[in-house]
Each structure stands twice: as structure tokens, then as C-alpha cells.
Amino acid sequence: MDNASLQSLLKRLCNVLWSANVTNPITYVTQISYLLFLKMLEEMETDQRDTNSSNGRTTPQLFTVIRIDEEEVDFAKLRWSVLTSDPDNDRMLRTLRDLLPKLALHPALSPAARALFEDSAIVIPD
């Protein structure tokens, strides 16, 4: 995704939030930060995989099925490329609402990254 596409997406998100009477700038920043962090995680995972494959090392996968508290959680649905290619906006929002808080329990994320998602909630309306 190039800068122009990202700017367009951010403007659309701001318009959606504004239309839903979400007017607090801190809420805007929080919601958009969650999404940007998902994009960054996918890019970092891809870069690490490419680097490690040339060195013969394996890369811990973030966007895979993980068992958390006796539940199988499919984090692949949170991959930026999967989220943004889903034409069903309601399903995308359900995925974000259901899985984003569970990133706080993901064993492959650093403690600082997990802390970002503690008590996370998506307020973007349906």
C-alpha cells in the first residue's frame, strides 16, 4: 500500500468515526493506531521471514493459529492483507472486535506489544 492509498484509507476511517459521533481525537488516534500496528506487524513478519530464509533460520509466526486458554485462535484473520481484502465490512469489524484484544495474550509478541492490546476495543461502528 502506497502513501496515497494509506492517506485515503485514514481519511475514510476518520469520516466513518465522525459520522458515528466518535469525535474525541484520542479515540481516533487509538483506533487508527490499532490498524496501523497490524499493518506494521505483517510487514515485520514478512521482512523477518525473508531475512531468515536466506540465513536458513525459522521465523516465529504471528499470524497463525495459536492455542490460548484451551481455545484455538486464528490470528491469520488479523493479517493486514486479509483484513483489507475482505469485501464484507461487517465480518472485518467482527474479526477486529473478537481478535484484537486476544493479541494481548499472543506468545510471539513482546510484553510491550502485548500491553498495547490489553483492554483494546474497536469502536468503529457497523
Q: What pLDDT, on a 0 to 100 scale, did the predictor assign at position 56?
A: 77
pLDDT at residue number 50:
81
Give the model's pLDDT for residue 1.
65
* 99-108: Cβ within 8 A, 24+ apart: 99/73, 99/74, 99/75, 100/34, 102/68, 102/73, 102/75, 103/75, 103/78, 105/68, 105/69, 106/62, 106/66, 106/68, 106/75, 107/66, 108/60, 108/61, 108/62, 108/66
Domain boundaries along the sequence of the chain: 3-116
pTM of the shown model: 0.80
Per-residue pLDDT of the chain (126 residues; tens, 9 = 90+): 678 887 887 888 788 788 888 888 898 889 889 988 999 999 999 988 888 777 778 777 899 999 998 999 999 999 999 998 988 888 988 999 999 999 999 999 999 999 999 999 988 776
